[in-house]
Amino acid sequence: MILPSIKNINVRGKKVLLRVDFNVPVKNGKVEDDFRIKKTLPTINLLKKKGAKIILISHTTKKGGTLRPVAKYLKIKFIPDLKLSNIKNGEVVLLENIRNFNGEESNDSKFAKQLAGLADIYINDAFSESHRKYASIVSISRYLPSYTGLLFENELKNLESVFKPKHPFLLILGGIKFKTKLGVLNKFVAIADKIFIGGALANDFFKIQGKEMGESTIDESVDVRKYLDNKKIILPIDVVFKKNKILDAGSKTIKLLSGLIKQSKFVLWNGPLGDYEKGFSKATFDVAKAIAKSNVKSIIGGGDTVSAIKKSGVSLKKFSFVSTAGGALLEFLAKGTLPGIKALERQ
């Protein structure tokens, strides 16, 4: 898929509205994880070098929330000349939380037009937000020449490769809500050679099989019965059962999955394999280490997945590609496109 690129335009002296995703973890007014920020810096630095007047727009999940901690962090760590107004060529300004405006989430065309009035060019570098039909993602491209940023291009290039993978191809799905992963399972059951389903997702299969569940997490909104006898699908063969719940995969399962990784040429992984935030992290950590030690091409994504791997001590550089996206990753893998992509295709 070829979209209009930032690489091919002259932006000197022009105001560029750059949509980024700086919705990063903040605690006590301080940024805790700058992974997404760092991934966006190449686009910002390229625009600075080209002499653009850069207007950053982002959001925080909480409506009414503020990006002030992010602005402070940017100024200290990466953009010393970050401004609040009156930018010159090569300078950067960060606007306040875009979701504080009613027209954003309703994809209001009047709001999008007002937003477009701030700049000469629009660039989307927020792939991780491009599954949302919001004004700053979709409607704005109707009113400005629109392009992809470097991060957006890199996400698209790497995630498109998943549709034509090297084989054997192992898909690892974990996490809690099966409803969000069902589209990926439906898509890749015909593409992958093996699909390991772990985390709370496996509980939906265990329930159908009549296994002891206790108070384990189950997604009642999905029916996985049609996949129960599919030979591609592999479930945990042992689990850690504590506090009347299934909380992690067991040692035999870890050994099985590590063996599958060694046999594979491509691994796609989304979702932790246990309740790692409460200390049940062995399966997730060991699988991260197994992938890191192998020569397999690997793509991982999802906020919880990346967070868990960081806690494991495994460097993200050990993986072929680490996506900044969560929901957008799952929707793109399931559908092959996103609302933000379709908006740029109109150009």
Query: Is the confidence at residue 347, as pLDDT, over 80?
Result: no
| 225-280 confidence digits (pLDDT tens) | 999 999 999 999 999 999 999 999 999 999 999 999 999 999 999 999 999 999 99
The predicted pLDDT at position 239 comes to 97
Query: Is the confidence at residue 62, as pLDDT, over 80?
Result: no
Residues paired with 27 in a beta bridge: 30
Residue of 149, 302, 303, 340 with catalytic role: 303
Residue of 36, 99, 181, 297 with catalytic role: 36
Task: Say how far apart CA 207 and CA 222 lie, in whole Å.
Answer: 12
Query: Among this protein's residues, is 327 annotated catalytic?
Result: yes
The predicted pLDDT at position 220 comes to 87
The predicted pLDDT at position 63 comes to 75
Query: Among this protein's residues, is 303 annotated catalytic?
Result: yes
Residue of 51, 65, 327, 336 with catalytic role: 327
| 71-88 confidence digits (pLDDT tens) | 999 999 999 989 877 899
The predicted pLDDT at position 211 comes to 92
| 3-state secondary structure at position 60 | coil
Give mean pLDDT, residues 108-135: 98
CB-based contacts of 338, cutoff 8 Å, min separation 6: 127, 130, 131, 328, 331, 332
State the pTM of this model: 0.95
The predicted pLDDT at position 1 comes to 80
* Domains of the chain and CATH, by start: 6-153 (3.40.50.1260), 165-334 (3.40.50.1260)
The predicted pLDDT at position 151 comes to 98
Residue of 72, 142, 177, 211 with catalytic role: 177
Give mean pLDDT, residues 45-50: 96
Q: State the chain's mean pLDDT as an integer.
A: 95
| 10-46 confidence digits (pLDDT tens) | 999 999 999 999 999 999 999 999 999 999 999 999 9
Query: Is the confidence at residue 327, as pLDDT, over 90?
Result: yes
Alpha helices per DSSP H over the chain:
35-49, 68-77, 102-105, 109-116, 150-160, 182-188, 201-208, 251-263, 282-293, 303-312, 327-335, 339-345
The predicted pLDDT at position 24 comes to 95
Query: Among this protein's residues, is 36 annotated catalytic?
Result: yes
Counting every residue, how long is the chain?
347
The predicted pLDDT at position 346 comes to 80
| 161-209 confidence digits (pLDDT tens) | 999 999 999 999 999 989 999 999 999 999 999 999 999 999 999 999 9
Question: Are the beta carbons of 347 and 145 closer than 8 angstroms?
Answer: yes
Phi then psi for 86, rounded to 5 degrees?
A: 50, 60
Give mean pLDDT, residues 53-66: 91
